[in-house]
Amino acid sequence: GFGRIMNVASLAGLMPATGGDTLYGPIKSFLIKASNGLHLELKDRGVHVSALCPGYTLTEFHDANGSREQVSGAYPSWMWMTAERVAEIGYRGLEDNRPVVVPGAANKGLALLAKHLPDGVVLKMVGGHAKRLDRL
């Protein structure tokens, strides 16, 4: 067999839940776990399965609704990636058959912190993100 499956999850699926993210983060966590299961079940059949976990990504959605400047200004520029760059990294990760692909050094750092620090510490670090976006 041969095939490729990429599920687009989110960095939020690797982070503790925050206020304002009641469903988004947990649903993305489920998608990551389901992708990991499929990765294990299908790896011997030649099927690659990856969960792509991007952080803040500027997309055409932000252009279409006129929010690009507002949204991108809510966080430092180093936290943002272009959709093209996320897709490129995701494709490479899928071809390398990595079960979870986190694009970008900043996102990898956040994922690592979330994995090794208590939720309370991580929440203090990132907990205000929903409030910043709600003000837009």
Tell me what pLDDT residue 128 has: 59
Tell me what pLDDT residue 136 has: 45
Tell me what pLDDT residue 43 has: 92
Distance CA 118, CA 114 (A): 7
Fold of 3-134: Rossmann fold (3.40.50)
Residues of the chain with pLDDT under 70: 127-136
Distance CA 103, CA 117 (A): 20
- The answer to whether 102 and 14 are in contact (CB under 8 A) is yes
Q: Within 13 Å, how many C-alpha atoms sit on residue 83's CB side?
A: 8
Sorted by where each begins, the domain ranges of the chain are 3-134
Tell me what pLDDT residue 127 has: 61
Tell me what pLDDT residue 76 has: 82
Tell me what pLDDT residue 89 has: 98
Tell me what pLDDT residue 97 has: 96
